[in-house]
């Protein structure tokens, strides 16, 4: 053995990496997956479960699935032997899933509206854009443009499209977005009215909120679709979609009002008094002092309400409006695509998951950003 050559000054030993068991993957696995015997067993069970579930699911949904080259369920199954999903009906009926029965020649109007809607969302959601002066007016104007563009109007030279041609994701977005955009201000108004010291406001707001909250949405939709026509003079043409939009909006507004009232109640009395002491008028004190705090507290509740509302839009299928679920049910009722229920519901679930998960993540981000710390 030759004498080792020291490569460092005495006492200046360079730092060694930590031992294998204390770093890297091994440590992570030991800490997170096998910290104790019990956890270790659960980890193993989960791994076995995933091993049996994930590969077949992956094979079904992707590897063995048929998307493009089939025009019926039979053809799908001829290709993949019934082992994989048959997404072909979604591909073949993509236009229906997106636009419903909206006439093909006029679909550019819907596409423009989708773009305008995306712009609105960017303005509302992205902080930097929002700070541009005057841009918030666009938030009011863009949805109005959509509301004119989609149904069309003779005056502007756009062929009117009856609302019963609306369907698919477009319908979901119309109902969901209208509900969300319109119900928030109404909800704030109702919440303020309910805690108002003027009895006329508080009594009416309370009656309204309690009535709407005491009735299931589906009942309101039935009232909109059938009962209302009895009260209107014969011959009046009050559009079904408009009726549904009104019902969905007031339903959502009633729930929001209570969520926001919760936020208002959580603001210490001193804040109200401080605002008064500054000589602020009622509206100014609400706008500058109370509401910013109350709404911040209410964010999780408000977003829950919105997510609930967005998912509730699928209920319209019961009164015969063809949202994606209705379009899909009609598609798999077609003898060519019959019995593709799994594919349909997985597809719809993914769509709703993306939308609702997005909303929920945004609300978390918003909460963190507005958390000014107390």
β-sheet bridge partners, residue 86: 66
Q: Which residues inside 164-193 make contact with another protein, applying CB under 8 A?
A: 164
Minimal distance, residue 172 CB to another protein, in Å? 16
Interatomic CA distance for residues 111 and 173, integer angstroms: 13
Number of residues that bind another protein (CB under 8 A): 41
101, 114, 181, 204: which one contacts another protein (CB under 8 A)? 101
Look at residues 252, 243, 181, 172 and name the one whose alpha carbon lies nearest to residue 217.
252
In the numeric block, the tokens 């992956």 are attached to: 58
Residues 299/367, Cβ–Cβ less than 8 Å:
yes
Per the CB < 8 A criterion, the answer to whether 166 and 100 are in contact is yes
Contact stretch for another protein (CB under 8 A) within 105-113, 279-287, 304-312, 326-334: 326-334
341 makes contact with another protein (CB under 8 A): yes
User: Closest separation between CB of residue 227 and another protein, Å?
Assistant: 8
Q: Measured from the CB of residue 269, what is the shortest distance to another protein in angstroms?
A: 45
- C-alpha to C-alpha distance for 275 and 243, rounded to whole angstroms: 40
Name the token pair of 92: 């073949």
Residues 299-318, interacting with another protein (CB under 8 A): 317-318
Q: Give whichever of 267 and 346 is closer to another protein, judged by the CB atom.
A: 346
DSSP secondary structure string, 169-223? Answer: HHHHHHHHHHHHHHHHHHHHHHHHHHT-SSHHHHHHHHHHHHHHHTS-HHHHHHI
Q: Find the shortest distance in angstroms from Cβ 151 to another protein.
A: 15
Q: Determine which residue in the list 105, 156, 200, 335 makes contact with another protein, applying CB under 8 A.
A: 335
Confirm or reject binding of residue 250 to another protein (CB under 8 A). no
Is 34 a residue that touches another protein (CB under 8 A)?
Answer: no
CA distance 320 to 238: 16
Distance CA 237, CA 118 (A): 32
Cβ–Cβ < 8 Å for 66, 88:
yes
Q: How far is the CB of 36 from another protein (least distance, A)?
A: 39
Q: Are 160 and 239 spatial neighbours (Cβ–Cβ below 8 Å)?
A: no
Of 60, 204, 222, 351, the one binding another protein by CB under 8 A: 222
Q: In the bound complex, what is the minimum distance in angstroms from residue 101's beta carbon to another protein?
A: 5
Question: Is the Cβ of residue 24 or residue 320 nearer to another protein in the bound state?
Answer: 320
Nearest approach in angstroms of CB 84 to another protein is 14
Distance, CA of 256 to CA of 307 (rounded, Å):
12
Cβ nearer to another protein, comparing 205 with 244: 244
Residue 159 sits in the site that holds another protein (CB under 8 A): no
Q: Which is nearer to another protein, 191 or 317 (CB)?
A: 317
Nearest by Cα to 309 from 243, 361, 242, 359:
359
Q: How far is the CB of 97 from another protein (least distance, A)?
A: 11
The yes or no reply on residue 60 touching another protein (CB under 8 A) is: no
Burial annotation 330-351 (CB, 10 A radius, 16+ → b, else e): ebbeeebbeebeebbeebbeee
Q: Which residues bind another protein (CB under 8 A)?
A: 71, 82, 89, 92-93, 95-96, 101, 162, 164, 222, 225-227, 229-236, 240, 317-320, 322, 326-327, 329-336, 338-339, 341
């Amino acid at each position: 053995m030759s004498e080792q050559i020291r490569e460092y000054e005495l006492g200046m030993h360079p730092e060694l990496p930590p031992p294998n068991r204390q770093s890297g993957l091994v440590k992570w696995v030991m800490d997170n997956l096998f910290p104790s015997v019990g956890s270790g067993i659960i980890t193993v069970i989960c791994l076995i479960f995933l091993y049996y579930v994930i590969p077949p699911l992956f094979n079904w949904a992707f590897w063995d699935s048929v998307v493009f080259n089939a025009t019926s369920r039979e053809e799908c199954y001829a290709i993949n032997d019934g082992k994989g999903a048959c997404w072909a009906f979604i591909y073949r009926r993509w236009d229906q899933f997106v636009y419903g029965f909206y006439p093909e020649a006029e679909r550019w109007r819907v596409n423009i509206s989708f773009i305008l809607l995306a712009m609105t969302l960017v303005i509302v959601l992205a902080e930097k854009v929002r700070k541009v002066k005057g841009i918030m007016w666009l938030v009011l104007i863009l949805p109005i443009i959509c509301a004119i563009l989609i149904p069309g109007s003779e005056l502007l030279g756009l062929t009117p499209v009856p609302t019963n041609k609306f369907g698919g994701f477009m319908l979901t977005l119309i109902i969901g977005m209208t509900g969300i955009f319109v119900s928030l201000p109404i909800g704030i108004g109702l919440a303020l009215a309910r805690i108002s010291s003027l009895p006329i406001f508080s009594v009416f707001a309370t009656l309204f909120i309690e009535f709407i909250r005491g009735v299931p949405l589906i009942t309101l939709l039935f009232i909109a679709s059938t009962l209302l026509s009895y009260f209107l003079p014969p011959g009046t043409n009050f559009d079904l979609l408009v009726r549904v939009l009104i019902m969905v909006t007031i339903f959502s507004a009633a729930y929001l009002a209570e969520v926001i009232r919760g936020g208002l109640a959580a603001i210490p009395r001193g804040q109200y008094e401080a605002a008064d002491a500054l000589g602020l008028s009622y509206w100014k004190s609400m706008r500058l002092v109370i509401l910013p705090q109350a709404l911040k507290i209410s964010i999780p509740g408000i977003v829950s309400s919105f997510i609930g509302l967005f998912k509730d839009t699928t209920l319209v299928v019961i009164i015969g409006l063809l949202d994606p679920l209705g379009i899909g049910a009609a598609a798999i009722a077609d003898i060519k695509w019959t019995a593709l229920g799994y594919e349909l519901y997985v597809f719809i679930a993914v769509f709703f998951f993306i939308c609702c998960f997005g909303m929920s993540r945004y609300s978390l981000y918003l909460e963190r950003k507005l958390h000014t710390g107390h």
